[in-house]
Amino acid sequence: MDNNQHKFQTTGKFHLDLDRVKTDALEMGGMVESQLYNAMGLIKKRNDLLATKIIENDIKINLLEKKIDDFSCKVIAKYQPMASDLRLLVAIIKVIANLERIANTVTNIAQSSKDGFFDDLPETLILMIWKLTNHTLDILTYSLNSFARMEFSQDLSLPYKYNLLQSEYEDVIKSLQKTVKIDLAYLENVTHIFILAREIKRITNRCKEIMYYLHYVVTGVDLRF
């Protein structure tokens, strides 16, 4: 086998392994997106069976994240890729870490439902938390779709979505404060939901990170610095 043939075979194997990493990462993204969608329903209506399933699925997501991370590192060590291929692998490792953290927040939503923290809260407050989560899901979906297409575009609606979500988060906090002032019996639930709302809002920060890494892959420029 001459050097050119060996190089061709090695390149072919590398792209097969790279496609495997991308496929697994997109699968993980789809799992996290589905988890958040299902957990959103638990805010309005308690369903302990669904909550338990979401919590159990988090273990699968954690295992998949470790599998992708380990295999990506092996691909980098084996083939020593350069330029856009290396950027893609590094970005995927970073993206799946963010997805794992988002999945942890989703698990906290499910556990909060099982523990009854949404029970008996004012209906208006429940709706506000649901809307906050729904718009968070919208931003997550956009980020994952962009990464799947490997297309970074300056969507003019994104700043509006981020501002809207920030406004909704502030409304939730004000409503929580108002609720506990009216009745101290809500104090434990309100304190827990306050922390959870902050975690939900932080999902959008994870989504921004995903978009930053996408920009890094496409252009080679890291917007974080």
Give the model's pLDDT for residue 4: 45
What 3 state SS string does 103-163 have? HHHHHHHHHHHHCCCCCCCCHHHHHHHHHHHHHHHHHHHHHHHHHHHCCCCCCCHHHHHHH
CATH of the domain at 76: 1.20.58.220
Q: Is residue 95 part of a domain?
A: yes
Share in percent of the chain as helix, strand, coil (round to 5): 85, 0, 15
Q: Is residue 224 part of a domain?
A: no
**pTM exceeds 0.85:** yes
What is the domain extent for residue 112? 3-219
> Domain count of the chain?
1
Q: Is residue 121 part of a domain?
A: yes
Q: What is the pLDDT along the chain (225 residues), one digit of tens a residue?
A: 444 443 444 678 999 999 999 999 999 999 999 999 999 999 999 999 999 999 999 999 999 999 999 999 999 999 999 889 999 999 999 999 999 999 999 999 999 999 999 998 889 999 999 999 999 999 999 999 999 998 877 665 677 788 899 999 999 999 999 988 887 877 888 999 999 999 999 999 999 999 999 989 988 888 776
Identify which of 139, 117, 127 has the alpha carbon closest to the alpha carbon of residue 168: 127
